[in-house]
A and B are shown apart, each in its own frame.
Chain A
């Protein structure tokens, strides 16, 4: 690049840098800092004793312990299930492996609070369909399983979170150089020894990294615990924050408790992320293949059919049964009626889509919020990634840190921070409007956009732009004709990575909604809380249709792009 053009671009570069820092500071840094500030700073003094007192209160302490218990149980369960299924579909002769692999990833798409809702209908102690079936037909005096329990919560979370481990381990097993295992085999080791001594140790970093991801997610997870735990008084940190703030309509004491709990959550999350980074950097072996033949397959022999049946039953129980229950209940005239043709109709669905104000608003809000958040975050993400990846300026490290911060900041914490920052204390009051949800979404999803866009920009080597400049293109032309076409897939990916999760968002929206600003997730949750189980199920059914269609369209669209 010539010295002249460099000087001319200097002003623009400064503006972009300033803008990037400003966006991240206002949207991400301020809310998080306000949480720490409010937690530790009381009446103008730094106060740790008070923080400890709040943590020591029986309710808050119990919530902390519950978060840990549920997260630990969920993590262990999901890791075992995910690793086992990953091994089954990549290393054995299980029938229909490709299909099974696809099905095991489906729970990724399904919002776990909708799953929780379905399981509540199936296994709630008195009214659950399965429990009632056994009580009526086998004369059992009590339920065979009470879903309103620690075990129930963990079970449902395992069902919908195990894909985190499954996908990581599948990827590692598929990318792993088959000769690593073959050389063990020619060394004289049998398949069992190889699995134990070579395969598992080599994919251990992937297993652990997936496990920590689940831990992080479960610690900060709102939906399942809210749907299944509150009945029996089981609160975890996010549900307690929500309950306190919701009950007291945002009183000072409740916000303070919230900030303290949020601080604990952030610290735990930061520790988990740190641990994950440590494991990945230390144990990340180069195990990727050069040329490769198919990896060895374990012949399951007599176990082949039983394991196939087990997988089928698992898929039936985690995907088909809950989905069917949601749609069936959504079609009932009143909750509690039997599933007969007279009792089932599409009336609820019609009502929800066309006449019922609350749900119509919710669908509209979710779609517009999702689109707006995805668009804004996508463009801001490109700009900030450009600064991080391409600009040689000082201070870009801060940008990188700020941008990735939301990865370690759970949704309920972001929501709380946004309340602190945008409810009039600092001149702008967005509370009770959709804008506060939009701001929270942008903060929450910025990291997704930065990651996708940075990855795309890394691919665009400086020499490509330089070659365009040498060929006579101006900086602007080079950006338009060279950089933009190459970065577009990353931008698209960022858009959908934000739009689809935003459609089903619950954790953040539940803390920020006002009567007219419910999102789909909030509407499903509140309808269920208000006892409108049928309406809630119908809306959940519609949400499932929207989410799955969206995901399929994206897969098709992006899949075709990659092929072409």
Chain B
């Protein structure tokens, strides 16, 4: 039984459709990420779930309860939804101590003082903030502030936790640490997470499922592994991980590059114009003439763990990444390339699957 259910949710700002007919079901205890470039509608979707934005169409149910509906003109105000939410810019209140921040949601619910005390303490302990409880959050680091925001969201022990790019204001190493903390807290408390981010690594590391969005339209909803290994279209392929694209035209049964040169590969698609997609790490070097493609090394950079090469081919430039111990040809040398897992996408329609 799904816990959060979005039915045909649409949001328009004037003539712009920010979110278009979104249908979504999120299970209890699931960590669900919404991923996409800025302006794709992911934050708007989260704010509709939170109750800060009205809907232009559709309904939202949480735990069997209708919380937003355009048709019935029914909106439960945000303060009645009992969610936890963490914002990008921390949004901790600088005029209260850390403890007062965390106790605030309990206090406005009119709980007895002893319960407020113990539950705030619990939330503070879960986020390692007990020692800083009486400090001003303004004196804490970015990571500390975000912990306060997390503790505050945890305090009421919500069923649903809404996270709006909570880590993007933090330093990279801290970001990685906090990912795991959020995941641990979820295991402990059992809430569902709806997580908005534009950082694909973050989404993959955290989530049970990922939704990829572009211009208000859902592109793919699946597990991180499935999204990475089977992107449904060119956009998803390019958005998740590093990517190469080569444009290809079909001439009868044969495939060729637009500016000449044949391609010995076959494609399951019958379209006239195609895109050949590949990951830089899924290309092997071989003797010239023995692989799928031939090219000349135009650039080679040593990046520590990996060697990053640019190969000029008949159809354009390809990026190839090899481990530092693997052999890689020098600049100016010609080489053969073997595509380990090529993907084909129809050029004409970027959102169609291949």
**A residues with CB within 8 A of B:** 177, 179-180, 182-190, 193, 197-198, 201-202, 204, 283, 285-287, 289-291, 293, 296
Contact = CB atoms under 8 A, between A and B. Distances in A.
B108 interface: yes
A187 B104 contact: yes
A293 B95 contact: no
Contact of A202 (B51, B52, B93): B93
A182 B78 contact: yes
7 contacts: A188-B105, A189-B79, A202-B94, A202-B95, A286-B138, A287-B94, A290-B89
A182 B53 CA distance: 11
B301 interface: no
A283 B136 CA distance: 12
A548 B211 CA distance: 56
A283 B94 CA distance: 9
A329 to B, nearest CB: 49
A198 B77 CA distance: 18
B169 interface: yes
A195 to B, nearest CB: 13
A180 B93 contact: yes
B204 to A, nearest CB: 23
Given A177-B89, A179-B89, A183-B149, A189 B95 contact: no
B46 to A, nearest CB: 11
Contact of A286 (B77, B81, B82, B94): B94
A179 B91 contact: yes
A188 B156 contact: yes
A290 B108 contact: no
A285 B52 contact: no
Given A183-B149, A185-B52, 17 more contacts: A179-B87, A179-B88, A180-B93, A182-B85, A183-B85, A186-B78, A186-B162, A188-B80, A188-B109, A189-B79, A190-B77, A193-B108, A202-B94, A204-B95, A285-B94, A285-B138, A296-B52
Contacts of B79: 185-190
A290 B89 CA distance: 6
Nearest to B104: A187
B138 A293 contact: no
A9 B74 CA distance: 73
B152 interface: yes
Nearest to A296: B52
A290 B88 contact: yes
Given A186-B81, A187-B104, A201 B138 contact: no
B235 interface: no
Among all A-B residue pairs, the 8 with the closest Cβ atoms: A187-B105, A179-B91, A285-B94, A290-B89, A179-B87, A183-B91, A186-B85, A189-B108
B335 interface: no
B239 interface: no
A187 B104 CA distance: 7
B47 interface: yes
Contact of B169 (A193, A202, A204, A290): A290
B84 interface: yes
A392 to B, nearest CB: 32
Contacts of B228: none
A188 B84 CA distance: 10
Contacts of A190: 77, 79, 108
Most chain B beta-carbon contacts within 10 A, residue among A190, A287, A289, A291: A291
Nearest to A189: B108
A303 to B, nearest CB: 19
B4 to A, nearest CB: 15
A290 to B, nearest CB: 4
A460 to B, nearest CB: 29
Interface residues of B, number: 33
Contacts of B104: 184, 187, 189, 197
Most chain A beta-carbon contacts within 10 A, residue among B52, B83, B84, B91: B91
Interface string B78-120: 1111111101110111110000000011001100000000000
Nearest to A194: B79
A182 B105 CA distance: 12
Contacts of B62: none
Contacts of B83: 186
Interface string B46-89: 01001111000000000000000000000001111111110111
A143 B87 CA distance: 59
Contacts of B94: 202, 285-287
A556 to B, nearest CB: 28
A283 B95 CA distance: 8
Contacts of A287: 94
Contact of B47 (A177, A187, A204, A293): A293
B91 A177 contact: yes
A283 B93 CA distance: 12
B162 to A, nearest CB: 8
A289 B51 CA distance: 20
Nearest to A289: B89
A285 B51 CA distance: 27
Contacts of B138: 285-286
Contacts of A197: 104
B222 to A, nearest CB: 28
B91 A293 contact: no
Contacts of B156: 187-188
A193 B81 CA distance: 17
Most chain B beta-carbon contacts within 10 A, residue among A189, A201, A202: A189
Nearest to B152: A187
Contact of A182 (B52, B80, B92, B109): B52
A293 B52 contact: yes
B93 A188 contact: no
A2 B149 CA distance: 51
A189 B51 CA distance: 13
A182 B152 contact: no
Contact of A188 (B47, B82, B92): B82
A190 B47 CA distance: 17
A180 B149 CA distance: 11
A186 B149 CA distance: 12
Given A290-B88, A291-B88, A293-B52, A185 B78 contact: yes
A197 B92 CA distance: 13
A283 B138 CA distance: 11
Most chain B beta-carbon contacts within 10 A, residue among A179, A180, A289, A296: A179
B108 A187 contact: yes
A23 B66 CA distance: 72
Interface string B146-186: 00010011001000001000000100000000000000000
Contacts of A204: 95
Contact of B95 (A177, A185, A285, A290): A285
B3 to A, nearest CB: 17
A432 B153 CA distance: 71
B298 to A, nearest CB: 33
B181 to A, nearest CB: 19
A204 B93 CA distance: 13
A204 B162 CA distance: 30
Contacts of B93: 180, 184, 198, 201-202
A186 B84 contact: yes
A183 B82 contact: no
Contacts of A296: 52
A183 B152 contact: yes
A187 B161 CA distance: 12
Nearest to A182: B52
A394 to B, nearest CB: 34
B96 to A, nearest CB: 8
B111 to A, nearest CB: 11
B128 to A, nearest CB: 20
A204 B95 CA distance: 10
A444 to B, nearest CB: 37
A204 B109 CA distance: 25
Interface string B249-270: 0000000000000000000000
Contacts of B88: 179, 290-291
Given A187-B104, A188-B109, A189-B104, A182 B95 contact: no
B108 A188 contact: yes
